[in-house]
Every structure is written in structure tokens, then in C-alpha cells.
Amino acid sequence: MQEYWEIYMKNLEGKPASVQFNAGISMEIEELQYSYPIVAFVKAKLKEPNEHGLLSESEEPEILFLEDKLEAAMIKFRIGKYVGRIINDGHVTFLYYVQFTYNWPNFIEFALNEHASYEVSNGHQEDGEWNYYRNLLYPTAKEWQLIQNHKVCDKLKEQGDSLYLARAIEHKLFFQDESQKEALVATLEAKGFKIKDEIENEEGVKGLDFYRLDKPFYHDIDAITLDLIEIAETYGAAYDGWETSVVKS
């Protein structure tokens, strides 16, 4: 199984949540769900959450130590796979999929023996379809786009880009249904985008390459791409990301 972790923010019941999950598992989920059919959790109440109910800098080392201890216990007792954690509303919840639960109490005792100061709950239930992973941890198409946005922004910053300076940002989309192509182009142009080229991917699916002058700062590009995802879906297309050049102040 590949270890490939991602982290992103989402809204859970009207409150911000930080979600970290093992994306590599998604490539083997059909096989794993039969071997590990039980979802299990360990939920700890944060001692010093920040004003948003998320993890504070001061408490982060202790929570990371708790996470490591839980992972060590999971390996020691050989009962499951760690798939992710959610920090939300003053709590951190670690999620696992396990093969069996007869030694779950031993796992908990070993993992938490150095964390008696935390208010902790735990439990498990059948989840042969891996719904908690698929629907809670795994991001939607829009959430995936935010993850990719922030990776590109981080790379631009590493190269000395301020992110606050407007420049041509180039976008791509591909048609699932070309019957609404003209309406899609008209909508994009009405929003100030200019069509650069008609393109085609390796599978022969046709699409558009278009651009507009914008700032690639995190919040700005998130709003732009979420809007483009909705526009593309409305007209039978799929948004396929963006790129831009480095602009140093």
C-alpha cells in the first residue's frame, strides 16, 4: 500500500475542519475494504484549541506524539490501517480500518498509557463499504482542486512570487458534451476570459485553453477555480486546472 498523504480544509456541520488522509489507499480500496471491514476511531478533546476549534501551535507536538503512539500500537497489534484524522470543534479524531476487534482494548491501553491527561473516547463499527473514508475523508472534486491550488501557490512562493500581482492565468477544461460549447464560450467571455486555443487530450477529448488577468493568491484562485468548476459542469465540461508564470515584486 502506498503512503501518500494530503491535508485540506473543509466545512463540517457549519464549522471549519482540518482533514488529513492517506490518499494512496484510494488506489487499493476495492481490495482493502474486504480485508479491513470495520471502521474504528479514537477521539481526543483538545486542551488548547485555537479560536476556530482547530489545533493550536502550542498543543501540536503533544497531538503528534499521540498520533505516533497510536500508529505504533496499530503496528504492534497488527489489527488495521490508519487512514486519516479530522480536527474540528475542539477535538481530534483518528480513523482506522481494522480486521478484527478482539484486542482493541489492548491496543487502546498500550496507545494511551502516556496520555491520561486527555479526555478520550473510542469505538468501532462495521463499514464494509468504507463509507467513512469515501465520504468523510476523501475530498470532493472541488476540495481536490483547492488542494492542487495551494500546492501551485506554495511552489510560486518558493520561487519568490508575491502572489498579489495580477498576471495571465491560463486554465483548461475538456468537454463531456460539446453540444453546449458555444454557450460555454459565451459565458467565459462574459466573465472576462479570452479563449486561447481549442485543445485535445491524449484520449482525444476536446477542450479549451483560456486565460484572464488575475492574482494567484490562495483565496483569489480558490474563488476563481470553484466558479469555473461550476460553469464547466453547467455546460457539460470538466475543469482541468490552471498554470501561470512567476512574477517577482
Locate all alpha helices (DSSP H) within the chain, ordered by sequence: 29-35, 60-77, 104-112, 131-132, 141-158, 181-190, 218-234
What pLDDT shows up at residue 246? 96
What are the sequence ranges of the domains in the chain?
Answer: 5-137, 141-244
- Please check whether the two domains, 5-137 and 141-244, share a CATH topology: yes
What pLDDT shows up at residue 1? 54
CA distance readout (Å), 68 to 12, 112, 200: 25, 11, 46
**Assigned CATH class of 5-137:** alpha beta
Among 189, 71, 66, which Cα is nearest to 120's? 66
What pLDDT shows up at residue 166? 96
- Stretches in the chain below the pLDDT threshold 70: 1-2
Among 50, 47, 56, 58, which Cα is nearest to 115's? 47
What pLDDT shows up at residue 2? 66
Q: What is the pTM of this model?
A: 0.85
What pLDDT shows up at residue 222? 95
C-alpha 93/C-alpha 220 separation (Å) is 31
What pLDDT shows up at residue 126? 97
What pLDDT shows up at residue 33? 87
Contact 41, 94 (CB under 8 A): yes
Collect all residues with Cβ–Cβ distance below 8 Å to 151 and sequence separation of at least 6.
none
Dihedral, 180, 181, 183, 185 alpha carbons, nearest 10: 160
Quick one: fold of 141-244? Alpha-Beta Plaits (3.30.70)
